[in-house]
């Protein structure tokens, strides 16, 4: 024979209801914080009226649905009237709290719970009034683990007569729950909804559940605020590092070119004059553009201007070949990424080479990545020295660091060299084709 189902006692049912109620508050808070517009509202303490109304609606609508679920389905954990109205006022001001209180307090009035409306609106005003009094950042310090430091906060309040806002924030929902219990005993469950406790220990659990329904959403939303701010700080830090690295390239290139010009002033003054004219044109391009990212087409145009300068210095000894995939010309690359690689090929690969030197610039697309090669037929280096070159000179170290900062540790400059045959500098970056500029 099947065993008889053992039903819960009233006290056990109340404890279960309280646990589910806190879980409902946590789930609702987690769902709301997943919306970007809700997170944006949480990040600002001074909100205009449209933001306050959006915040009130985003909280009030699901809370009103919870009240309707309680009225229609007799599911008591769905009713978060006190905590919801108080939270809305605490985070968005008294009027937003009153709006939420009116939204959740109106449906019970039609069911005969006439005390629910003024009580809910009062909870919203109570949270809003507390917001006007306490420091805004103190609200976000209210945690579900408030009891761990409660004795220190109370002792500080008693001994030094110093207001501790954690204690005040804790006392407010406790006082409101006690008020609701009092109204319930006075007017009965037919006129205001409350969870009746048969003894003082269950009453303490009811109060604790109310406090947690306020503290848990604050904790969840504050964690989202902190995470968002950390992400913004990481973006700003990365932008600052990219800007610092980019600012190192131009002086490095400029000093090397000026050194070349100074060596030609006496022996080849006309050549030095041509170099100065071409250098001024290249610097004008660099000063006009504040973009940290450009298309490969624009990067190659800048390389051509630089190579014009080097062609004046080397004459027919320098030959340039290009193998550019047309589909890669609109790919976005970091500005001034290739110039240090070309300069390194000329300075270390071709300068000491006897006979004609050749630099090949090649670009392709494969597996969602752009592959750019700078190849020279210079003197080359031994394999171990190629790895040291990436961290030695300013130009290559800068390019390698920019790749790591922008794209991650898996993207680094690749150097392959064969002594006497030449060197290949390869850059592999994720494909990105956008018409808009990324400006610092």
Mean pLDDT confidence for 10-18: 90
Cβ pair 99, 123 in contact under 8 A: no
d(CA 342, CA 377): 12
**Residue 36, pLDDT above cutoff 50:** yes
Q: Is residue 82 part of a domain?
A: yes
Cβ pair 82, 180 in contact under 8 A: yes
Same domain, 421 and 281: yes
Same domain, 189 and 305: no
Query: pLDDT band at residue 152, thresholds of 50, 70 and 90?
Result: low
Q: At what angle do helices 49-73 and 81-92 cross, to 10 degrees?
A: 180
> Of 208, 232, 256, which residue constitutes the final position of a domain?
232
Residue with tokens 């170290």: 397
d(CA 397, CA 390): 5
Same domain, 24 and 157: yes
Mean pLDDT confidence for 201-217: 92
Same domain, 225 and 270: no
In 3-state terms, the chain is what percent helix, strand and coil (to 5)? 65, 10, 20
Q: How many domains does the chain have?
A: 2
Query: pLDDT band at residue 40, thresholds of 50, 70 and 90?
Result: confident
Same domain, 225 and 370: no
> Of 214, 232, 250, which residue constitutes the final position of a domain?
232
Q: Is residue 253 part of a domain?
A: no
Tokens standing for residue 26: 């946590």
| pLDDT given for residue 406 in this prediction | 80
Choose from 196-200, 205-209, 285-289 the range with maximum mean pLDDT.
Answer: 205-209
Query: pLDDT band at residue 153, thresholds of 50, 70 and 90?
Result: low
Q: Is residue 219 part of a domain?
A: yes
Q: Phi and psi of 320, rounded to 5°?
A: -115, 130
Mean of per-residue pLDDT scores for the chain:
82
Residue range of the domain that includes 324: 265-430
Instruction: Kindly write down the DSSP assignment for every residue of 17-35, as one continuous string.
Output: HHHHHHHHHHHHHHHHHTS
Q: Is residue 214 part of a domain?
A: yes
Lowest mean per-residue pLDDT among 33-42, 100-109, 125-134, 144-153: 144-153
Query: pLDDT band at residue 19, thresholds of 50, 70 and 90?
Result: very high
Same domain, 222 and 305: no
Same domain, 421 and 335: yes
Same domain, 292 and 423: yes
- In terms of DSSP H, where are the helices of 320-382? 339-344
Query: pLDDT band at residue 181, thresholds of 50, 70 and 90?
Result: very high
Q: Is residue 247 part of a domain?
A: no
Distances (CA, A) of 275 to 262, 263, 339: 10, 12, 17
Q: Is residue 375 part of a domain?
A: yes
Same domain, 197 and 302: no
pLDDT top residue among 135 and 360: 360
| pLDDT given for residue 80 in this prediction | 94
> Of 212, 232, 252, which residue constitutes the final position of a domain?
232
Reported in sequence order, the residue ranges of 316-368 that DSSP labels E, i.e. its strands, are 318-324, 332-334, 357-366
Cβ pair 309, 278 in contact under 8 A: yes
Same domain, 206 and 286: no
Lowest mean per-residue pLDDT among 6-15, 135-144, 212-221, 244-253: 244-253
Q: Is residue 4 part of a domain?
A: no
For the stretch 66-124, pLDDT in tens is: 999 999 999 999 999 999 999 999 998 899 999 999 999 999 999 999 999 999 999 99
Same domain, 277 and 400: yes
CB-count exposure of residue 347 (10 Å: 0-12, 13-18, 19+): middle
Cβ pair 108, 64 in contact under 8 A: no
d(CA 378, CA 359): 9
- Please name the helix (run of DSSP H) or strand (run of DSSP E) that holds residue 112, with its range, or none: none
d(CA 354, CA 379): 9
CB-count exposure of residue 46 (10 Å: 0-12, 13-18, 19+): exposed
- Tell me which DSSP letter residue 439 carries: B
- To the nearest whole percent, how much of the chain has pLDDT over 90? 32
Q: Is residue 171 part of a domain?
A: yes
Tokens standing for residue 84: 């919801």
Same domain, 349 and 285: yes
């Amino acid at each position: 024979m099947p065993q008889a189902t053992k039903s819960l006692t009233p006290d056990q049912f109340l404890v279960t209801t309280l646990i589910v109620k806190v879980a409902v508050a946590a789930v609702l808070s987690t769902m709301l914080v997943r919306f970007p517009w809700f997170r944006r509202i949480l990040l600002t303490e001074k909100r205009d009226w449209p933001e306050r109304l959006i915040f009130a609606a985003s909280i009030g609508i699901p809370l009103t649905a919870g009240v309707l679920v309680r009225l229609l389905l007799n599911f008591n954990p769905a009713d978060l009237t006190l905590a919801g109205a108080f939270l809305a006022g605490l985070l968005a001001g008294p009027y937003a709290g009153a709006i939420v209180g009116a939204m959740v307090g109106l449906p019970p009035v039609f069911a005969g719970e006439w005390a629910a409306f003024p009580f809910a609106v009062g909870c919203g005003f109570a949270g809003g009034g507390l917001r006007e009094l306490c420091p805004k950042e103190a609200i976000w310090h209210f945690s579900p683990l408030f009891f761990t430091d409660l004795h220190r906060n109370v002792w500080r309040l008693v001994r030094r007569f110093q207001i501790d806002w954690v204690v005040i924030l804790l006392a407010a929902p406790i006082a409101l729950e006690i008020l609701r219990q009092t109204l319930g005993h006075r007017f009965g469950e037919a006129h205001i909804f409350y969870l009746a406790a048969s003894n003082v220990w269950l009453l303490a659990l009811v109060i604790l559940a109310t406090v947690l329904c306020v503290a848990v959403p604050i904790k969840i939303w504050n964690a989202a605020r902190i995470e968002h701010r950390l992400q913004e700080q990481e973006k700003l830090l990365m932008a600052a590092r990219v800007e610092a690295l980019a600012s190192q390239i131009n002086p490095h290139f400029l000093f090397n070119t000026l050194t070349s010009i100074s060596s030609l002033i006496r022996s080849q003054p006309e050549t030095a004059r041509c170099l100065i004219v071409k250098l001024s044109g290249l610097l004008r391009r660099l000063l006009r553009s504040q973009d940290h990212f450009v298309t490969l087409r624009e990067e190659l145009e800048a390389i051509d201007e630089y190579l014009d300068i080097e062609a004046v210095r080397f004459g027919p000894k320098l030959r340039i070949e290009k193998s550019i995939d047309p589909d890669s010309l609109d790919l976005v690359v970091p500005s001034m990424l290739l110039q240090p690689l070309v300069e390194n090929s000329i300075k270390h690969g071709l300068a000491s080479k006897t006979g004609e030197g050749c630099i090949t610039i090649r670009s392709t697309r494969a597996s969602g990545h752009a592959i750019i090669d700078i190849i020279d037929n210079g003197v080359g280096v031994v394999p171990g020295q190629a790895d040291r070159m990436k961290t030695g000179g300013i130009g290559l170290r800068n390019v390698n660091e920019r790749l790591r900062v922008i794209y991650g540790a898996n993207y680094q400059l690749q150097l392959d060299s064969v002594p006497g045959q030449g060197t290949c500098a390869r850059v592999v970056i994720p494909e990105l084709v956008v018409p808009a500029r990324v400006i610092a």
